[in-house]
Structure 1
Amino acid sequence: MNSLSAPQPVPLAQAHRLLNHGPTVLVSSAHGKRRNIMAASWSMPLDFDPPKVAVVLDKATLTRELVDASGEFVLAVPCRAIAEQTLAAGSLSGRDGDKFAALEFETFPASRVAAPLPAGCIAWLECRVIDEPQVQHTYDLFLGEVLAAWADPAEFSDGRWHFSAEGRRSIHYVAGGQFFSTGEAFEVSVTG
């Protein structure tokens, strides 16, 4: 695995915090012998207990086909160190061959879903689709219940992001191959 540290479990009550800062995500999917990975910028946490997420998956993508067939997916949070692979995952079609292999994404098995977890990321959410056919068909919006959540403990622990190194910060896609990475953390309190 390309991560600096082995992933550690994240309590499901904190799973929403893995996406709460709005990063670009990688969506991993699998059904039968087929698998795919794509980048997505439109995802977000929805609920705490049970934790739920939303992600937009266009009808034309192989990822959508595999998620429709399997009823599950993984949202992974890539970091600056793998920004080039992330952009390629969002630019190439999985119908042309295995993008994991083409982009040299190492993987490790998920604990609750068939879709693999892409190595080099800093967080992973294993999700089961909450079937909402009207929403899926009309808006390409998929809701998922988070079944398991994982994070690199050097970057996320005690319910907070720490970002130990510049290359390990989450990334946010703007357009045209441009990203920005999460900046310095700071804390404020409400007075009075």
Structure 2
Amino acid sequence: MHTPFPPHVLPVEPRHAYRLLNTGASVLVSSAHAGRRDVMACAWNVALEFEPPKLAVCLDKATLTRELVEASGSFVVAVPRAAQADLVATVGSVSGRDVAGQDKFSAFHIRHAPGTQVDAPLVEGCIGWLECRLIPEPHLQQAHDLFIGQAVAAWADERAFAHGKFLALEATPPEWRTLHHLGAGNFVIPGAQIKGRQLAPRAPS
């Protein structure tokens, strides 16, 4: 079938189409309930609303994190930094159900601090943390693995985020930049910063 595209524009397999969009910062989602705790990597996440601050994360049905989030009604989203790439790759590849006799925090010596508003732990060394209360949406959770949370507390390390925004790239050491997952354990970090200018509209012809 003829396409309007030049020869160098090729079709993408549907199973890989998400990778065209999935270049935002990867996050860690931690949870805890009844003496159990878990942490997983999550590349599928999005901010939803300013006031009250809401966000959404995708949690697969097979994950222990999802089980604990559903049971506890809360979770923490942490924004890891480039220096934590090995940690993100590890907790994104290993299930909390497969770490015999312990959890990922103890198995991989993950330093953490208690949440201030929720029971889920805060992974230390990250750029920022959002403590979230789950907004139950059973249909979205079951049909689309989509979990919506309202941030009830947020924290950030001023070495990367201060005064309500990320620092300019030239002021941010490479190890303090965000991680962006490209698939198969590959990440990129921001390497250059540009500023767009607003274009003037063309006069009607």
1:34 and 1:65 map into 2 onto residues whose CA distance is 10
1:184 and 1:26 map into 2 onto residues whose CA distance is 24
Aligned partner of 1:123 in structure 2 is 128
2:155 and 2:119 map into 1 onto residues whose CA distance is 15
Amino acid of the residue matched to residue 139 of structure 1?
A: H
| Residue deviations 1:76-109 (CA, integer Å, cap 9, x gap) | 0111101001100011111123101112210011
- SS of aligned partner of 1:63: helix
Aligned partner of 2:154 in structure 1 is 149
Aligned partner of 1:51 in structure 2 is 53
Aligned partner of 1:178 in structure 2 is 186
Where in structure 2 are the equivalents of 1:1-192 lying within 5 Å?
A: 22-95=24-97, 96=99, 97-162=102-167, 164-190=172-198, 192=200
**Once the 2 structures are TM-superposed, how far is the Cα of residue 182 of structure 1 from its aligned partner?**
2.3
Amino acid of the residue matched to residue 39 of structure 1?
A: A
Amino acid of the residue matched to residue 128 of structure 2?
A: A
Of 42-51 and 175-184, the range deviating more from structure 2: 175-184
2:195 and 2:184 map into 1 onto residues whose CA distance is 32
Q: How many residues align?
A: 172
2:137 and 2:199 map into 1 onto residues whose CA distance is 42
Of 81-90 and 100-109, the range deviating more from structure 2: 100-109
| Residue deviations 1:113-139 (CA, integer Å, cap 9, x gap) | 100100111011110111100110100
2:35 and 2:184 map into 1 onto residues whose CA distance is 33
1:47 and 1:90 map into 2 onto residues whose CA distance is 26
1:122 and 1:104 map into 2 onto residues whose CA distance is 19
**Which structure 2 segments of 5+ residues have no match?**
1-22, 201-205
Amino acid of the residue matched to residue 111 of structure 2?
A: E
- SS of aligned partner of 1:182: coil
1:169 and 1:181 map into 2 onto residues whose CA distance is 6
1:120 and 1:104 map into 2 onto residues whose CA distance is 13
Q: TM-score of the superposition, structure 2-length normalised?
A: 0.80
**Which structure 1 segments of 5+ residues have no match?**
1-20
1:188 and 1:137 map into 2 onto residues whose CA distance is 40
The structure richer in strand per residue is 1
- SS of aligned partner of 2:87: helix
Amino acid of the residue matched to residue 24 of structure 1?
A: S
- SS of aligned partner of 2:198: coil
1:179 and 1:161 map into 2 onto residues whose CA distance is 19
Aligned Cα root-mean-square deviation (Å): 1.3
Amino acid of the residue matched to residue 191 of structure 2?
A: G
Q: Flag the structure with larger Rg.
A: 2
Aligned partner of 2:12 in structure 1 is none
